[in-house]
Amino acid sequence: KAGVTQTPRYLIKTRGQQVTLSCSPISGHRSVSWYQQTPGQGLQFLFEYFSETQRNKGNFPGRFSGRQFSNSRSEMNVSTLELGDSALYLCASKGQQRTPQYFGPGTRLLVL
C-alpha cells in the first residue's frame, strides 16, 4: 500500500495570505488527523476527521479549518496567515480503532 502523502512539501507565504494543505491517507483509512509542529511548542493536535466529519478538535483559533472528502482525502486551510504559523504540518491516517497512526512526510510552511 502507498503511504500517507502530503502536498505540497514546502510552501512560502506572506502574512495575511491563506493556504490550503492536502493529505491523502493510506487506502482504506477513514481517519485523518492533522498536527502542527514548531520548535517551541512541539507537536500539537489540530483536528481529526472521520468519514467527512470533524470528530476531534484541538485548541487552535478559527483561522485553522479542515475538511474531508468522500474518498477520505483531507485538506487543511489556514486563513490570514501569521508569522507564528510557520511550522511543519503533519497529517496522519488510521484504519480500525486500536491501530497505529501512519504519518505523512509533512508540509513545511514558512510565513514571511
Q: Which residues bind other proteins (CB under 8 A)?
A: 31, 33, 37, 42-45, 48, 55-56, 88, 90, 92, 94, 97-103, 105-106, 108
The minimum distance between CB 32 and other proteins, in angstroms, equals: 12
Q: Give the cell for residue 95.
A: 484504519
86 Cβ partners below 8 Å, 6+ apart?
A: 38, 109, 110, 111
Which amino acid does the sequence have at 19?
A: V
C-beta of 58 vs 79, nearer to other proteins: 58
Output Rg (C-alpha) for the chain, integer angstroms: 13
The minimum distance between CB 16 and other proteins, in angstroms, equals: 25
The minimum distance between CB 21 and other proteins, in angstroms, equals: 13
C-beta of 10 vs 62, nearer to other proteins: 10
Q: Rounded to an integer, what distance in angstroms lies between the CA atom of residue 25 and that of residue 4?
A: 5
Q: Rounded to an integer, what distance in angstroms lies between the CA atom of residue 76 and that of residue 110?
A: 16
The minimum distance between CB 6 and other proteins, in angstroms, equals: 10
Name the 3-class secondary structure at 83. Answer: helix
